[in-house]
Structure formats: C-alpha cells, structure tokens
Structure 1
Amino acid sequence: MAKRVRGHIKWFSPEEHFGSIRPDDGSPDILVFLNNFRGTVDPYALRRGNAVEYRVERTPGGQRAVDVVLLRTEAMIQRVRGHIKWFSYEKRYGFIQRDDGLADVFVHLDDLRDAADSHRLAQGDVVEFRVEQTPRGPRATDVVVLRSAVTDERVTGRIKWFNHSKRYGFIQRDDGLPDVFVHISDLRDPADAYWVAEGDLVEFRVVQSPKGPKTVDVVLLPRD
C-alpha cells in the first residue's frame, strides 16, 4: 500500500479548484485538485496552513496528491460572527469587531466569499467568517455577509460640495431627503477620487452610521 504523507495547504483557489501542498518532510510542493480530496469538501474550507494527509501519484504532468484527507480541528472549522467596524473602499480593507469579545480582525476585500458583496460592504454589516493566523496577526477569511446595514435601493443625487484636502463632502439627494455625507473612500472606483467635483451626478446606497446617514458604493454617472 502506498505510503501516506502529511503536509499543509500552501495555497488553494476555491474558484479554480486547485492549489498546492507543502509536505512536512521538506520535499517539493505538490499539486492538488479539489476532486483529489476524499469525500465532499467545501473548497472555501481549504485555507493556507490546513493540515492534510495524502498519497502521491505520479502522472505524465508530474506528481500530484490524491486521496487527500483534510485533518480538521475545531480551530480550523469554527466560524466566528461579528460586524464590520470600519471599511475603506479606497484601501480595500477594514476591521471586524468579533461578537465573542476577542480582538478585532483584519479583513480584505479579497476575503469575501461572494464577490458581489465587494460593492456593498459597509460599517455595521453582520458577518460570519473564519480566522486565519498570519505573521501580521489574525485575518478574516471566507467572509459571508449575513445581514447588510446598507439599503438595497440605489439613490441618485448631485455632489453639493466636496473638499479634496479633507477628503469628504455632501450629496444633495434627488428624492428630497436631507443631504448625505460622502467620504472619498466610499467611491467604488478609486480613480474617481481625482475627478469628483461639485455638481457631479452620482448614484449610491445609504448606510446608517453612528454619526448619521452616509453613502457607500458611490458611482459617478456621466456628466450632463
């Protein structure tokens, strides 16, 4: 019977369904595909550092791991809940305040399970995630938005004024409701930060922040 080897996931793409394993014995990294795992495995559960056990199969294209078993531990499979404490679209990252009272966790836009959520992540969103320990500290991965603090309705309006040095301004809404605060980091396209000006037509969503309503996912529309 072929010898079984232990190692850990070096990287894995849940969208492409493949990645690589770094063997514990110091031998070269080995290719692994999702269909090489034993049983049904959630591709989003395959994170860097997950311990695995497998057999090595030689193919015309090189070696690959087969009959792979994910050596799950409670720490690996546990999902945590919290809410977005703050998030910057300009920087593409923010922090999550955990419900269990432990330290806030870094979150990057690329860590969202559903790419569609990348245009609506906002302060106050309730999220569920896994925690990955990195050299820089804990990081949220496989983040799922459970309840959005942002309204689904998109609103239009015009930039009433905007101060580039202070990086914020206000939008006059077309629906007649009070003006709403906008920060430069709320622009969907960071390049628009150089062009936004008084009178620009914009479309956006509104989120309730501790200081009142503010915009998120702001898109500049073609000028008149």
Structure 2
Amino acid sequence: MVEDSKDQGSQPQSGQHAPEGEDHRHIAGAVKWFDPVKGFGFVVADEGGPDILLHINVLRNFGQSSIADGTSIELMVHETGRGVQAVQIVAIHPGESTQPAPLPDIAGLDQETLRAAPLEPARVKWFDKAKGFGFANVFGKPEDVFVHVEVLRQSGLSDLQPGEALALRVIQGKRGQMAGEVQAWETVLQSDISQND
C-alpha cells in the first residue's frame, strides 16, 4: 500500500502510463493534497478505498503544474505493487466557492458578468505563492494582469510557473486589470474540441 503521509521519505516512481495489458479503471474523487515541490500528492476516491498516488508527470500531461486541495478530479488508475496510482487525468472540476471572495474587486461581481468576459490566452509572467499573487500577460496586449491566489483556488489551481499557458477572464479591478477566472489552457482546448464533436 502507498503511504499517504506528506512526510514520506522516498520519492514515488514516475507517473507514466502503465505497461500494456494492465487493467485501468475510471474513478472520481477529490485531491487530498498535492505538493508540486515533492512532485506528488494523493486523491481520495468517492467510492472509498486506499489513497491514489497522483504524480506530477500525470498532472503535467494534463497541462497543469499544480492542483488545489479538495478539487474534484476524474482519473484513470491502475493497481501496482505499492498501491493504486493515477495514470491519466480525465477531467478536473474546480469547485464553486461557497464563501464570498475575499478580494474587494470580485466580492460583489455578478457571476453572469464574469462569464460574459471572453476567455483570453495568456502566459504567466511570474507568480509567488507565498505572497499570494503574481502577473500574467494576455497575448497581444502589453498590460500586466494581476492574478490572486484565491482566484486560482476557485479555479482548482494552487500555483503557477513562469511561462505557463493559461486562459483568463479579465476584469477591470480598482488597481487595474485582474483575472476574475483562471483556467489551464489544455482544459479550454479540450472543452472546445468536445463542443465541436
């Protein structure tokens, strides 16, 4: 069985696809915790059972470098000699925040107004999780767009890396342009593909 402690001494094996012929099954669950520095975390299946190892390579194959604790997720998994391991992310479903946003710029913002803003392609300029914010640049526009960590969490992300591709819904905040919603670029691409089918 895989240990579910954050203080695990050894690094888990790479999250690459299992060899051909091994049984894979689809599960839904929630992220228990994920540490991008350690390169792994665990998911708790809705159906119960042992914790499921989620390796950073599997997350990167989906186009993200982080995921927020508590985020709903669908995975393809397989059994290994050390426990259950995710081999592919099928979907990530960021939760709707039940608490009002702590940022004054989005606290009173109507969700329909936010949804009316277009999703724009952007790249992360820099992001400091410890400070709780960073900036991104929308392609073709010179202005920096402020990105707050709480907006990330509402979108199911917990951290961003410089150069990472995103899709943003940009709103005008009190101090300039800011992200009202953040999505991983691959999530937007997958949504566009499924709508065209």
Tell me the TM-score range normalised by the shorter chain.
Answer: 0.3 to 0.5
Between Structure 1 and Structure 2, the one with more strand by share is 1
Q: Give me the TM-score of the superposition, normalised by structure 2.
A: 0.42
> Larger Cα Rg: Structure 1 or Structure 2?
1
Q: Which has the higher contact order (CA 8 A, sep 6+)?
A: 2
Q: Give me the TM-score of the superposition, normalised by structure 1.
A: 0.38
